Each structure stands twice: as C-alpha cells, then as structure tokens.
Structure 1
Amino acid sequence: MKTLTLLRHAKSGWDDPVARDFDRPLNPKGRRAALAMGRHLRDLGLGFDRVLASPAVRVTETVAEVEKGLGRALSPAWDRRLYLASAATLLDAVHEASPDAASLLLVGHNPGLEELAMLLVPDTAGGLRDAVEEKYPTATLAEITFEIDDWSAVAAGQGVLTRFVRPRDVDPALGPDAS
C-alpha cells in the first residue's frame, strides 16, 4: 500500500510588491494556517518517507510553518518542475518516487494538486471527492491511498481519498470569513 498526501501552499500575500509570482510570500493568515496544519499532522501522527515540493517562496514558507507545528523537519526535495505544475507533471513526479517510500507528500499549487486528486480518485457520488471538487483551499491536504507496491503503478481512478482537511476544519478562525 502507498499513501500520497497533497498539500496546497498556504494563503499568499497579493499585496506584497514582488516582481515575480514565484517570489510571493505568505500572508499572516497563511502562516497561521500552515502552522495549524503542521500541528494537525502531528496530532494525527502522520509522517512521510519522501517529500517533494515546489521551490516557490510561498511553498518554502508553508513548509517552514508546517515544520514548526509538526515539531520536526520534513526535509523536502525542492523540485522546480512542481512550480505551478499540471496534474500530468505532478503524476510524473509521483511515478518517479522510490518504491521504498510508503508515504509521499507533494507540496505545491493549484489547480494542479486539485486536478491530480480528481484524476486519481474515482468519480462516485458523495463523500470527500465532492469536497475536493467544490474547492481545494490554500493549506488544505488530501490523502489518497493506493493498493500498489510501486509508485509507477499509480493510475487514474485507482486511489481512495481517505482524508481531506482544510485549515478551517482544524481551526474555525481560519475559515473564509475570518481575517
């Protein structure tokens, strides 16, 4: 069995005058959300054998805040291909993961992460997939399991969405109506 966890970067600051989208940092709410998600990962006892992440500033800052909440380093491999990656590119990265890793965390951007989750999980009525389809907010994680031995076998419609956690599920103050 393999477990793939997808984590979207936390809320970034559009007010920050940076020259490139790549350099956009988190805003204060994003920092709080990433820290809360890290604490939630710790409380769930989740760990990852391998972490791949986009090197964009908002992702590196998300990882740093998650690590604070988690209480340990994630030590990601920073992969430039994951910056604003499509579902197909993300799936390529998953297929390349070492079969020794039972759990893989991808930290990146939408719409690619949402599209990957939608691709990997069968379209059945109700349940968590509907929540993903409705909206995949910033700092949200989706956990998908596969009955396979090698990451190269991950295929469309073969995953089971076992968890979909938004920051507001962890702390209601992090919901869309809070600042």
Structure 2
Amino acid sequence: MTLRLILTRHAKSDWDNPLDSDHSRPLSARGQGAAPRIGRWLADKGYIPQQALVSDATRTRQTWQCIAEMLPNAPEAAFDRYLYLAGPEVLLARLRHATAPSVMLIGHNPGIAEFAARLLPNPMPHPGFAGFPTCATLVAEFDHAAWTEIEFGTARGVDFIVPRELD
C-alpha cells in the first residue's frame, strides 16, 4: 500500500499589526492569493487529501481554508496545537496518528523544512526545497501499510511546488 503526504508550509502572513501574537497572525493579501493557487494545483494534479492535519495558528487555519475551497470533497481539518512551531520529531509523531491513505499536513518553518529534508533520502531537485518558502508544498509517498510504520528517510519525493511558479 502507498501512503501519500502533502506537506505544506502556511502561506505568507501579515506582520502589519504589532499587537498580533505570533499565533494569531493572519495571512497577508499575498498569502490569501497564494494558498488557493496551491489548492488548484493539487486538484489539477489529483493530489487530493483525505485527511488534513493543521496547526491551530490563525495563518495555518486560513491557509487550509483557502486550499480546501479549491479541492473536490475536501476533508474537515483537524486543528492541532502540537503542530504549532513543531520540529521534525513532533511532526512525525503527529503524522503517525493519521488514518487516511492521503494526508495533508500544514505547519511552520523551520520545522516543516527540516521535516521534509529528513523524510526524503535525497532532497528534491528544486532550488526552493531547502528553504521551504511560504506555501511551498511537497508531495511524498511511502511504501507502508500504515502511518505508524513510517520513518525518516523512507519517503519518495513525488512533486514540489512554490506559489510563484503558478503565477
């Protein structure tokens, strides 16, 4: 059985309000434009998640909402406080609780970039992969029967995109 992970960093956030906490920062206008483009790209490529694990921060929630609007039969997201600013080990532990064969996980850097790099035995041949810019999306697959079996270094990179490539 093949498991598919769609790993996305939140879209560009708005830093204009100095009273916003990091957790409550919303998406900027640029982020609100980028996230739907990623959703449309996922739909066009047939990368449709059956489960969504999303950090509970405002910008990740909004990123999911913008992406989900472009997906056919988008699942209800599970907003998870443990994904907020999580590192690779926590991201792996939370992903191991997934139940659907195709899962989208939306989180934050630096954890998302480190997680992506550790999942694959070799980096994706894309100049943006190492930095994982805002709303960058990796599609990776695992040849395992259950998420509980996945380990670092066992994913196969299928696709990688950044929003500016969709302009």
Which stretches of structure 1, 4 residues or more, deviate above 3 A after TM superposition? 71-74
Percent of aligned pairs sharing the same letter: 36
User: What are the residue-to-residue correspondences of 1:93-172 with 2, within 5 Å?
Assistant: 93-98=94-99, 101-123=100-122, 127-128=125-126, 131-133=128-130, 135-171=131-167
Aligned counterparts of 1:27 and 1:13: Cα–Cα separation in 2: 4
Compute the TM-score of the two structures, normalised by the length of structure 1.
Answer: 0.86
Aligned counterparts of 2:79 and 2:118: Cα–Cα separation in 1: 24
Query: Which residue of 2 is the match for residue 21 of structure 1?
Result: 22
State the superposition RMSD in angstroms.
1.6
Aligned counterparts of 1:111 and 1:74: Cα–Cα separation in 2: 26
Aligned counterparts of 2:52 and 2:34: Cα–Cα separation in 1: 19
Deviations 1:71-123 (A, max 9, x none): 5543110110000111110000111222xx11111011111111111111013
Secondary structure of the residue that 2:69 maps to in structure 1? helix
Aligned counterparts of 1:46 and 1:55: Cα–Cα separation in 2: 23
Aligned counterparts of 2:59 and 2:73: Cα–Cα separation in 1: 19
Q: Is the 8 A contact 1:63 1:74 kept in 2?
A: no
Query: Which residue of 2 is the match for residue 66 of structure 1?
Result: 67
Aligned counterparts of 1:15 and 1:74: Cα–Cα separation in 2: 32
Secondary structure of the residue that 1:127 maps to in structure 2? coil
Q: Is the 8 A contact 2:128 2:162 kept in 1?
A: no
Deviations 1:44-82 (A, max 9, x none): 122112110011000111111112233554311011000
Greater helix content: 1
The amino acid of 2:59's aligned partner reads R
**Alignment length, in residue pairs?**
166
Q: Unpaired segments of 5 or more residues in structure 2?
A: none
Aligned counterparts of 2:152 and 2:74: Cα–Cα separation in 1: 31
Aligned counterparts of 1:72 and 1:151: Cα–Cα separation in 2: 22
Larger mean Cα displacement after TM superposition, 4-13 or 58-67: 58-67
The amino acid of 1:115's aligned partner reads E
User: What are the residue-to-residue correspondences of 1:7-46 with 2, within 5 Å?
Assistant: 7-46=8-47
The amino acid of 1:102's aligned partner reads P
Q: Unpaired segments of 5 or more residues in structure 1?
A: 172-179
Aligned counterparts of 1:87 and 1:132: Cα–Cα separation in 2: 16
Compute the TM-score of the two structures, normalised by the length of structure 2.
Answer: 0.92
Larger mean Cα displacement after TM superposition, 64-73 or 106-115: 64-73
